[in-house]
């Protein structure tokens, strides 16, 4: 169900991840290059010319008055940042060629303003299939890719957000260059809990929060000037997290994701409580099976420890899902034995 990467590739990914964590500001689009432009009055100024996620050429204003000492210092700083971005993309290209999971440029662009406003540093967590991609990259394993057009961000509790653009989360997302619009609620008076790219695009961004109830609800998220879908059992998933790197042909972004053993068990739970989405259920079970196989053989004890912390009410769902993926785990008897013994299947 998976293949381990070489230690050399794992080291390369670790270097990329460290760069993502340490970088001060992320460049939208390709790294680009510095050029001098001239306006209608003949005045010259510096720009960064780059290509956005749709392949459109863009200019980003840098400074005016070429030759001025401060301007030239600023231009040297920009050239250094562009050089560093190009260097890290050499490593990203190597990783992607070998099978590491990479985000589409548009999806990475949507994460850039979240990083800029330190939403992940404040505690927000990337969940869903994109989180799965980051998790398996961190584990150093090659697996089948589960593509998605959704970005799911969960807020475990109130986020200590320092600044936010006027208009809240929606305006923050629009700084990515993607023309997000609010998705109307199921009932006409319900606020938006999801945003999508305008037009026929299926690209969506969903905000989630935990609830102790068994019912799906809508909750306000005041610090983001937004609303979120409240889901049962989400608190379990968000209680232990780690920092990883989302990688793309356009750059890298540091993100917070759940630890893999909680992600796997949470997928076993939601596979049973999800209603009317059989394709999503199959994806949930597939991702859970992969992580169980990897963890049981490479991190023994992690699944057992994670199961001990699951809500009692969720365990019947875990056992039912385990019986559905038992055949998939037959080539990984050590992994099956650990999770089956822990869950008393």
* Domain annotation covers residue 325: yes
Say if 11 falls within a structural domain.
no
Residue 190 lies in a domain: no
Structural domain total, the chain? 1
pLDDT (tens place) for every residue of the chain, 345 residues total: 999 999 999 999 999 999 999 998 899 999 999 999 999 898 999 999 999 999 999 999 999 989 899 999 999 999 999 999 999 999 999 999 999 999 999 999 999 999 999 999 999 999 999 999 999 999 999 998 878 889 999 999 999 998 999 999 999 999 999 999 999 887 778 899 999 999 999 999 999 999 988 888 999 999 999 999 999 999 999 999 999 999 999 999 999 999 999 999 999 999 999 877 788 899 999 999 999 999 999 999 999 999 999 999 999 999 999 999 999 999 999 999 999 999 999
Residue 317 lies in a domain: yes
Residue 267, domain member (yes or no): yes
What is the CB-side half-sphere exposure of residue 39 using CA atoms within 13 A? Answer: 10
Q: What is the DSSP letter of 328?
A: T
For the record, the structure tokens of 171 come out as 């305006």
Judge whether 303 lies within some domain.
yes
Which domain range does residue 340 map to? 260-345
Tokens 């992607």 correspond to what residue? Answer: 96
The set of residues, in sequence order, having a beta carbon less than 8 Å from that of 10 and lying 6+ positions away, is 140
**Beta-bridge mates of residue 242:** 257
CA dist., res. 334 & res. 301, Å (int): 11
The model carries a pTM of: 0.95
| Residue 217: strand pairing partners | 230
Q: Give the pLDDT score at 277.
A: 79
Q: Is residue 277 part of a domain?
A: yes
Helices 69-97 and 7-22: angle between axes, nearest 10 degrees: 150
């Amino acid at each position: 169900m998976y293949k381990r990467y070489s230690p050399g590739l794992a080291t390369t990914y670790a270097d990329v991840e460290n760069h993502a964590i340490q970088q001060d500001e992320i460049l939208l689009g390709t790294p680009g290059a510095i050029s001098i432009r001239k306006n209608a009055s003949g005045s010259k100024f510096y720009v960064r010319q780059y290509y956005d996620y749709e392949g459109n050429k863009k200019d980003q204003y840098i400074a005016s008055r070429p030759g001025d000492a401060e301007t030239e210092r600023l231009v040297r700083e920009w050239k250094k940042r562009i050089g560093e971005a190009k260097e890290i993309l050499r490593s990203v290209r190597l990783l992607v060629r070998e099978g590491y999971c990479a985000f589409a440029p548009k999806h990475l662009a949507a994460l850039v303003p979240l990083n800029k406003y330190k939403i992940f540093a404040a505690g927000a967590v990337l969940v869903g299939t994109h989180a799965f991609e980051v998790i398996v990259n961190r584990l150093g394993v090659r697996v089948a890719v589960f593509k998605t057009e959704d970005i799911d961000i969960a807020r475990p509790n109130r986020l200590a957000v320092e600044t936010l653009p006027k208009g809240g989360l929606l305006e923050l997302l629009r700084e990515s260059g993607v023309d997000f619009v609010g998705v109307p609620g199921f009932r006409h008076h319900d606020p938006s809990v999801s945003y999508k790219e305008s037009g026929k695009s299926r690209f969506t961004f969903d905000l989630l929060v935990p609830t102790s109830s068994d019912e799906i609800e809508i909750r306000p998220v005041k610090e983001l000037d937004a609303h979120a879908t409240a889901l049962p059992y989400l608190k379990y998933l968000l209680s232990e997290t780690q920092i990883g790197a989302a990688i793309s042909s356009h750059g890298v972004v540091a993100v917070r994701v759940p630890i893999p053993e909680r992600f796997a068990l949470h997928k076993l739970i939601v596979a049973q409580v999800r209603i009317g989405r059989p394709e999503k259920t199959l994806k949930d079970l597939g991702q859970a099976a992969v992580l169980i196989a990897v963890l049981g053989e490479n991190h023994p004890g992690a699944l057992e420890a994670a199961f001990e912390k699951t809500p009692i009410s969720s365990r019947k769902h875990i056992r039912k899902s385990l019986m559905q993926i038992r055949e998939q785990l037959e080539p990984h008897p050590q992994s099956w034995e650990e999770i089956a013994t822990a869950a008393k299947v």
